[in-house]
């Protein structure tokens, strides 16, 4: 049985990953590729519980290392119970985020030591990295408009009129623009250094981004089938 391929989508919140994820799933299914679509944090009942812990807004400030370890705890479960078995069965796995998100959000955004993140990655998923990653690159202000965060989370903080707008936003989406700028810088650096990462200009409308991704996927599918 030929091992499946592992594809991930990455980008800031509001980069428009969902439309592209559906397009990738449809494209692969049309070509007779058995595909499993999943996400992080999450992808198993236990890991989805951890997702709730990570995304729920709370009064208490969460220690960046506690956050990082929870992400890897969820990932250990996800890799062991879902990703590895699927790849071994020959299925292709398409995940909405994986460890690159930790590199960008916890490493870039929170300032967690990159070597610590790489050590955890080696411990939790030795030898496993995506075969192909699409990084949807979008400026922070555009991404924030898409999630309905607007501009108010600049360095000025949140005023009373802005709280209503923020009510639907999760703990990461509520972070200041400067946090998301650091996340973007880290993603772009990663995309430059890792050949498996393809950067897609996500300023375009979501369906145009999805078409671009699918066009890049075609040769990859032919090469590996
Ligand atoms: P999502 O909204 O794209 O499903 O992602 C949930 C949030 O979790 C998103 O704001 C990014 C954040 N996140 C991290 O900070 N580190 C990680 O390793 C992952 C997978 C997600």
Report the DSSP beta bridge partners of residue 37.
94
Q: Ligand 1 centre from 89 Cα, in Å?
A: 27
- Inform me whether the pLDDT recorded for 116 exceeds 50: yes
- The number of residues in the chain equals 225
What does the block give as tokens for 153?
A: 């989370």
Q: What is the mean pLDDT of residues 168-193?
A: 96
Q: Ligand 1 centre from 164 Cα, in Å?
A: 22
Q: Ligand 1 centre from 170 Cα, in Å?
A: 10
What does the block give as tokens for 177?
A: 């623009």
**Residue with tokens 């965060």, as numbered in its chain:** 149
Residue whose CA lies nearest to ligand 1 atom number 13: 101
Q: How far is CA 67 from the centre of its chain?
A: 15
Is residue 105 lining ligand 1, measured as CB closer than 6 Å?
yes
pTM for the model = 0.94
Quick one: which atom of ligand 1 is closest to the CA of 40?
A: 20
Residue whose CA lies nearest to ligand 1 atom number 18: 102
Is residue 72 lining ligand 1, measured as CB closer than 6 Å?
no
Is residue 71 lining ligand 1, measured as CB closer than 6 Å?
yes
Strand order in the sheet with 35-39: 35-39, 92-96, 6-11, 132-137, 197-201
Q: Is 173 helix (H, G, I), strand (E, B) or coil?
A: coil
Q: How far is CA 20 from the centre of its chain?
A: 12
- Inform me whether the pLDDT recorded for 178 exceeds 90: yes
What's the confidence (pLDDT) of residue 158? 43
Distance CA 22, CA 30 (A): 12
Residue whose CA lies nearest to ligand 1 atom number 15: 105
**Could you tell me the sign of the dihedral formed by the alpha carbons of 76, 77, 79, 85, in that order?**
positive
Q: Of the residues 17, 95, 101, which should be mutated to test ligand 1's pocket, given the most ligand atoms within 8 Å of the CB?
A: 101
Q: What is the mean pLDDT of residues 205-220?
A: 95
Q: Ligand 1 centre from 136 Cα, in Å?
A: 14
Quick one: pLDDT band at residue 152, thresholds 50, 70, 90?
Answer: very low
Other beta carbons less than 10 A from residue 162's beta carbon = 15
- Inform me whether the pLDDT recorded for 51 exceeds 60: yes
Q: Ligand 1 centre from 1 Cα, in Å?
A: 32
- Inform me whether the pLDDT recorded for 56 exceeds 50: yes
Please state whether beta strands 132-137 and 92-96 pair in parallel, antiparallel, or not at all (unpaired). unpaired
Mean pLDDT of the residues in the chain = 92
Alpha helices in the chain (DSSP H): 17-30, 45-55, 64-78, 84-88, 99-101, 114-124, 140-146, 160-166, 177-193, 206-224
Is residue 16 lining ligand 1, measured as CB closer than 6 Å?
no
Distance CA 90, CA 106 (A): 32
- Inform me whether the pLDDT recorded for 181 exceeds 90: yes
- Inform me whether the pLDDT recorded for 160 exceeds 70: no
Q: Give whole-number Cα distances, 25 to 2, 60, 187, 217, in Å.
A: 19, 38, 23, 11
Q: Ligand 1 centre from 162 Cα, in Å?
A: 23
Distance CA 179, CA 212 (A): 28
Q: Kindly state the DSSP code that residue 125 receives in the 8-state scheme.
A: S
Q: Ligand 1 centre from 51 Cα, in Å?
A: 9
């Amino acid at each position: 049985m030929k091992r499946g391929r592992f594809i991930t989508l990455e980008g800031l919140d509001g980069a428009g990953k969902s439309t592209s994820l559906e397009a990738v799933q449809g494209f692969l299914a049309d070509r007779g590729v058995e595909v499993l679509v999943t996400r992080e944090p999450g992808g198993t009942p236990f890991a989805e519980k951890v997702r709730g812990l990570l995304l729920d807004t709370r009064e208490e400030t969460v220690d960046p290392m506690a956050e990082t370890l929870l992400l890897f705890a969820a990932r250990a479960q996800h890799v062991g119970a879902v990703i590895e078995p699927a790849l071994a069965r020959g299925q292709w796995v398409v995940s909405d985020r994986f460890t690159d998100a930790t590199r960008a959000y916890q490493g870039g955004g929170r300032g967690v030591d990159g070597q610590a993140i790489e050590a955890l990655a080696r411990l939790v998923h030795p030898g496993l990295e995506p075969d192909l990653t699409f990084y949807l690159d979008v400026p922070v202000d555009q991404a924030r408009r898409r999630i309905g965060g607007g501009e108010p989370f600049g360095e000025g903080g949140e005023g009373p009129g802005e709280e209503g707008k923020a009510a639907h936003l999760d703990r990461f989406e509520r972070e200041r623009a400067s946090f998301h700028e650091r996340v973007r810088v880290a993603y772009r650096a990663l995309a430059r250094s890792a050949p498996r990462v393809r950067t897609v200009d996500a300023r375009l409308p979501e369906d145009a981004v999805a078409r671009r991704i699918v066009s890049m996927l075609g040769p990859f599918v032919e090469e590996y089938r």
